[in-house]
A and B are shown apart, each in its own frame.
Chain A
Amino acid sequence: MSLKRKILELQKKREKVLQGGGEKAIEKQVAMGKMTARERIITLLDENSFHEYDLFVEHEARDFNMDKKILHGDGVIIGTGTIFGAPICIYAQDFTVAGGSLGLMHARKITKIMDHAMKMRVPIIGINDSGGARIQEGVNSLAGYGEIFYRNTTASGVIPQISVILGPCAGGAVYSPALTDFVFVVDKISKMFITGPEVIKTVLGEEISMEDLGGARVHSEITGNAHFYAESEIECFDKIKELITYIPWNNGQKARQFEPKDPKEEFKIDEIVPGNPKEPYDVRDVIRGITDASEFFEVQELWAKNMVIGFGRINGETVGFVCNQPLMLAGVLDVDSSDKAARFIRYCDAFNIPIVTLVDLPGYLPGVDQEHAGVIRHGAKVLYAYSEATVPKITVILRKAYGGGYIAMNSRHLNADFVFAWPGAEIAVMGPEGAANIIFRKEIMNAKDPEKMRKQKVKEYKQKFANPYVAAAKGYVDSVIEPKETRKLLLHAIDVSKNKVDRKPIKKHGIPPF
């Protein structure tokens, strides 16, 4: 056979495999409002950057007549490409081939590209669209999942790992996304659960739809399993691309430096926060008054809204923001918001992203449900994450910082590098009302007019303690600054911390409260 013919043969073979599960299966996929696996990869990556590996891999299953079945690519596409020039390893499960079910060779392809990503120290993106384990392959299929989980864990904190749920992802399969850094979901397309509606109905007699059990909104608003919610696959890919611009390729590097830009003029940082500490405002407006071009890329926007986390840039450099949100539950810390903040702090620390903490909170959320849900151990995660972090840690106390909440939000005492406070900051053991009621209980009780006395004592307490100067006098706050100086000083703080060294004792790992 001449080389020409051999080339022709290769082209034919390729063409065949590139059909995936065939026309009918592709029609079905389109009817479900989904793109095909290959379309997804091509849309997400830079044009013409995708190179596919293992196109000709075939499964080795023999039982249940599997030896007679040809599954193109064994239901998964793997390869490398770029996003805005950043190298990326990627895999996408192909639902048109045997429902994207995971057999041994399917898993081998995924672990191969994961190993590749680890060796090359580049981010890995996994697009999940699979009916689950390939039952015909039995325990081999389970082995495949386990080998993926092991690699997810090993790669955690070394290379960015991104999961995109674009179809069903059920049973054991959900644990790969759960082990990765960021999970993207799309309305009406993503479905994630451990046990599906049918099992729940048989065992518990409860009827629920897939959407209500584990749809995109559920995981974005209720469970906190997802980090980014999109209305369409295209919007989802745009968000992934944007995320890639904010993070480094691996834990040995910094995120890409962009051209510095000033915040937009409409975000007037000295006009956003009301003077009365009991009045709400949107802390995201303060963030936008600080960041380059007033851009803020929010993470877990729809879950635990009393805490705002996300990425922005200051002078072209990526920083992670961790902020109380007075707009929601007055910005209290609770089980979910602690969990949300702690994980993000650890992410930033792992990937050399300085953390900027904006503080304005009355303390922890009171309630039996909170105590019984373990707010002690969840709240401890925030203390742990901040104390453990060695990246530059900068705090700006915007207004209230009361009690345990003050300590938790990257205080000097947890080894913050810079603590700034605005002139309206109130750093105190608790709010004036509560404090006055306790300290002056006797005076109030014995007064002729207790209510008048109470008001007077609250006023006294406010004047004496509800300010930043008591903490500044002890050096707990480095500087009391004007709001409009904030960006300049954050920039300065980041510059000063360029060569920060903070070595912790050598250990295998700590025992964080999770």
Chain B
Amino acid sequence: MVAKSKANNKTKNESPKENEGSKVRFNTFVVDGDKYRTQLTEKFKNRKKWENPDERKIYSDIPGTVIKIYVQEGQKVKEGDLMMVLEAMKMKNKILFTSDGVVKKIYVKESEKIPKGKLIMELK
């Protein structure tokens, strides 16, 4: 069966080489030692840069509300000690220390709502 195309592309067929005008800015992009001239996607530009984890810094694994903090700055703590109760997804979660140390600084307050990945405490 042969039908005629009724849906014609009105404005979409831009003429070629339109992108080579002065408007488009190209970046240098390296793959395996070879440098390419290309554009970068927003996602690539906004990607999170990797940082080596610092075990002394404790970050929240889930977002929630800090109900109670059981330690003070300067206090000696051991692995398994109770750090705080964090209410998240309607559950009161006990957060425990995963290593020994001394609490250097506490970055959150009781009844504070915190997002995931927030720095809660620093040990020394």
Q: Which residues of A contact B (CB under 8 A)?
A: 84-85, 203-206, 221-222, 238, 241-242, 245, 256-259, 264, 266-268, 272, 278-282, 285, 288-289, 293-297, 304-306, 316, 326-332, 336, 362-363, 365-369, 402-403, 430-434, 437
Given contacts A278-B37, A433-B34, 17 further A-B contacts (CB under 8 A): A206-B63, A241-B6, A257-B2, A280-B37, A280-B38, A285-B17, A295-B5, A305-B41, A328-B41, A332-B31, A362-B36, A365-B31, A365-B44, A366-B32, A430-B32, A431-B34, A433-B32
- A425 CA to B93 CA in the complex, in Å? 58
- A306 CA to B39 CA in the complex, in Å? 9
Q: Contacts A278-B35, A279-B37, A280-B37; is A266 near B1 (CB within 8 Å)? A: no
- Whether the pair A245, B35 counts as a contact (CB closer than 8 A) is no
B23 interfacial contact with A, CB 8 Å: no
Q: Contacts A238-B7, A245-B7, A327-B39; is A205 near B115 (CB within 8 Å)? A: yes
- Whether the pair A431, B19 counts as a contact (CB closer than 8 A) is no
Q: Contacts A329-B29, A363-B31, A430-B32; is A266 near B7 (CB within 8 Å)? A: no
Which of B12, B19, B47, B115 is in CB contact (< 8 Å) with A369?
B47
B52-86 interface (Cβ within 8 A of A): 63
Nearest residue, chain B, Cβ from A84: B6
B40 interfacial contact with A, CB 8 Å: yes
Which of A221, A294, A295 is in CB contact (< 8 Å) with B42?
A221
Q: Which residues of B contact A (CB under 8 A)?
A: 1-9, 12-13, 15-17, 19, 26, 29, 31-44, 47-48, 50, 63, 88-89, 113-116
Q: Contacts A336-B43, A363-B31, A366-B31; is A245 near B16 (CB within 8 Å)? A: no
Q: Which residues of B contact A434 (CB under 8 A)?
A: 32-34
Q: Which residues of B contact A221 (CB under 8 A)?
A: 42
- Whether the pair B37, A288 counts as a contact (CB closer than 8 A) is no
Sample 11 A-B pairs with CB under 8 A, ordered by A number: A204-B63, A206-B115, A266-B16, A288-B13, A293-B5, A296-B9, A328-B39, A329-B41, A362-B31, A363-B32, A403-B32
Q: What are the 6 tightest A-B residue pairs by CB atom distance, in nearest-first order?
A: A434-B32, A431-B34, A242-B7, A330-B36, A368-B50, A205-B113
- A268 CA to B114 CA in the complex, in Å? 57
- A365 CA to B41 CA in the complex, in Å? 12
> Which secondary structure dominates chain B's binding surface?
loop
- A403 CA to B31 CA in the complex, in Å? 11
Which of A205, A257, A285, A327 is in CB contact (< 8 Å) with B1?
A257
Nearest residue, chain A, Cβ from B9: A295
Q: Which residues of A contact B88 (CB under 8 A)?
A: 203
Q: Which residues of A contact B12 (CB under 8 A)?
A: 296
- A316 CA to B3 CA in the complex, in Å? 9
Which of A293, A330, A336 is in CB contact (< 8 Å) with B38?
A330
- Whether the pair A280, B26 counts as a contact (CB closer than 8 A) is yes
- Whether the pair B41, A306 counts as a contact (CB closer than 8 A) is yes
Q: Which residues of B contact A316 (CB under 8 A)?
A: 2
Of B4, B8, B38, the most chain A CB neighbours within 10 A belong to B38
Q: Which residues of B contact A363 (CB under 8 A)?
A: 31-32
- Whether the pair A85, B3 counts as a contact (CB closer than 8 A) is yes
Q: Which residues of A contact B35 (CB under 8 A)?
A: 278, 433
Nearest residue, chain B, Cβ from A260: B2
Q: Which residues of A contact B38 (CB under 8 A)?
A: 280, 326-331
Q: Which residues of A contact B41 (CB under 8 A)?
A: 304-306, 328-329
- A326 CA to B38 CA in the complex, in Å? 7
